[in-house]
C-alpha cells in the first residue's frame, strides 16, 4: 500500500528505493547500506526525541549533539568498516494498570541513531508493501484511523461477529530467524542484514543482571515497531488477505494496530472457522493468543424494538469501547 505522505519527505535516493518497491513488489534490493551515510545519520539524530530516556551510556541526545559532526563521522566510519558494536539495552519496568509491569528496552543514544537510520531505509520499502489493514507506527495510520475503519465496516453492515484477539508478550516472542527470512524476501544487501542482526541480537541489562535472549525484539527500541509490523505483515495480514478471505462465504476484515487486532466477519460459520485456525497460524511463528483476552463475540445489530443505549455485546480496541447505540435513524 503506497503511502503518499511519506514520499515527499524522502531523500532522492530513498525516493528511488520507494518508487521501485512500489513498482516491483517482488524485487530484492541488493544495494542499501550505502544509504546510511553521514547525512542519513544526521537526519536520524534530528528525529530522536529530546526527552528520551538514556541507555547504558548515560548520554542524552543533547550531550551527544555537542560534537555532532565528529560523532556522526566516527559512527559512519565504524559502520562502513564493520566495526560498529551495538551496546546492551537497558531494561526498565513500567507499571501497568493491572498491577503488573511492562518491560521497556532503552538503547544508547548512538544506537538509537543507527536504528532510526535503519528504520528510514527499511520503511521506504515496506511502506509500499504494507496492506490497508495495518495501522500503528506508520505515517497517517493512527489509532483513530483504525477505529474509523472498524466503525465504517460495523455500521455498513459488513460485520456481525467480532474476534477480539490479544497476542501474549508479542515483542518478546518474535522468532528472529523467521523475521530475518521475511526481510530477506526484500533485502539482499548482506551489510544491511548484518546491521539488522546486530540490533536484534543484543544483550539486555536489567539492573545488575545481563542476559542475551535468543528470541524477541526489545519493546521500546526505535526499530522494534517497524520490525513488528514486518513480522505481522507476513504472519497475519497477508495470510488473512490471501488464504483466509477467499475461503469464506461472507465478508470479512482485519484491523491491526501494531500487535493489537480485531477481525470482523459477516457470517457466524466463517467466524468460528477463523477462530479455530487463528491460534494455530500464530503458533507456527512462536506467537500465542492470550486465552483470557481472546474471544468471539456476537455483534449483530440489536433489534429495533430493543431500547437502551447499548447492544448485547461490547469490545475494547485501542482504548475505545465499541458498542451499538441507537440513533434517531434507528
pLDDT in tens, 282-296: 999 999 999 988 999
The pLDDT score that the predictor gives to residue 328 is 40
In this prediction, residues 158-164 reach a mean pLDDT of 90
- The answer to whether residue 186 scores a pLDDT higher than 90 is yes
Residue whose C-alpha is closest to residue 129's, from 248, 28, 279, 12: 28
The pLDDT score that the predictor gives to residue 330 is 39
Choose the CATH number for 147-169+232-322 among 3.30.70.270, 1.10.150.530, 3.30.70.100, 3.40.630.40: 3.30.70.270
- The answer to whether residue 320 scores a pLDDT higher than 80 is no
Confidence grade of residue 309 (pLDDT, cut at 50, 70, 90):
very low
The pLDDT score that the predictor gives to residue 327 is 47
The pLDDT score that the predictor gives to residue 5 is 47
The pLDDT score that the predictor gives to residue 324 is 62
- The answer to whether residue 323 scores a pLDDT higher than 70 is no
C-alpha 244: how far from chain center: 21
The pLDDT score that the predictor gives to residue 25 is 97
Residue whose C-alpha is closest to residue 165's, from 98, 259, 229: 259
Percentage of residues in the chain having pLDDT higher than 70: 91
β partners of residue 270: none
- The answer to whether residue 143 scores a pLDDT higher than 90 is yes
Coil, strand or helix: which one is 56? coil
- The answer to whether residue 169 scores a pLDDT higher than 90 is yes
Percentage of residues in the chain having pLDDT higher than 90: 76
Confidence grade of residue 218 (pLDDT, cut at 50, 70, 90):
confident
Q: 161-166 and 260-265: which strand pairing?
A: antiparallel
In this prediction, residues 86-96 reach a mean pLDDT of 93
The pLDDT score that the predictor gives to residue 317 is 82
User: Where along the chain do its domains lie?
Assistant: 4-130+175-220, 147-169+232-322
In this prediction, residues 137-158 reach a mean pLDDT of 87
> What is the Cα–Cα distance from 280 to 235, expressed in whole angstroms?
11
End-to-end CA distance of the chain: 36
In this prediction, residues 141-154 reach a mean pLDDT of 89
The pLDDT score that the predictor gives to residue 63 is 98
Quick one: which H or E segment has residue 252? strand 252-257
Amino acid at each position: 500500500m503506497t503511502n503518499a505522505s511519506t514520499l515527499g519527505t524522502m531523500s532522492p535516493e530513498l525516493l528511488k528505493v520507494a518508487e521501485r518497491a512500489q513498482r516491483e513488489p517482488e524485487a530484492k534490493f541488493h544495494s542499501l547500506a550505502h544509504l546510511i551515510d553521514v547525512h542519513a545519520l544526521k537526519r536520524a539524530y534530528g528525529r530522536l526525541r529530546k526527552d528520551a530516556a538514556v541507555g547504558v551510556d548515560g548520554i542524552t541526545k543533547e550531550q551527544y549533539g555537542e560534537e555532532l559532526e565528529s560523532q556522526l563521522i566516527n559512527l559512519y566510519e565504524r559502520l562502513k568498516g564493520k566495526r560498529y558494536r551495538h551496546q546492551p539495552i537497558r531494561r526498565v519496568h513500567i507499571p501497568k494498570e493491572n498491577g503488573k509491569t511492562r518491560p521497556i528496552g532503552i538503547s544508547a543514544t548512538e544506537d538509537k541513531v543507527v536504528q532510526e537510520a535503519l528504520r528510514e531505509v527499511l520503511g521506504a520499502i515496506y511502506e509500499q508493501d504494507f496492506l490497508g489493514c495495518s495501522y500503528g507506527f506508520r505515517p497517517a495510520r493512527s489509532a483513530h484511523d483504525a477505529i474509523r475503519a472498524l466503525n465504517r465496516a460495523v455500521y455498513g453492515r459488513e460485520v456481525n461477529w467480532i474476534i477480539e484477539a490479544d497476542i501474549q508478550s508479542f515483542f518478546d516472542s518474535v522468532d528472529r530467524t523467521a523475521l530475518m527470512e521475511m526481510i530477506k524476501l526484500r533485502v539482499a544487501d548482506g551489510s544491511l542484514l548484518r546491521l539488522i542482526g546486530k540490533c536484534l541480537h543484543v544483550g539486555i541489562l536489567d539492573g545488575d543482571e545481563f542476559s542475551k535472549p535468543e528470541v524477541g525484539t526489545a519493546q521500546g527500541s526505535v526499530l522494534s515497531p517497524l520490525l513488528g509490523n514486518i513480522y505481522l505483515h507476513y504472519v497475519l495480514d497477508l495470510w488473512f488477505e490471501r488464504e483466509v478471505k477467499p475461503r469464506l462465504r461472507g465478508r470479512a476484515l482485519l484491523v491491526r494496530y501494531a500487535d493489537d487486532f480485531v477481525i470482523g466477519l459477516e457470517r457466524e460459520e466463517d467466524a468460528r472457522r477463523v477462530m479455530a485456525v487463528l491460534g494455530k497460524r500464530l503458533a507456527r511463528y512462536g506467537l500465542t493468543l492470550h486465552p483470557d483476552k481472546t474471544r468471539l463475540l456476537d455483534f449483530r445489530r440489536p433489534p429495533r424494538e430493543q431500547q437502551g443505549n447499548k447492544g448485547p455485546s461490547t469490545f475494547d480496541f485501542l482504548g475505545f469501547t465499541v458498542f451499538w447505540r441507537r440513533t434517531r435513524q434507528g
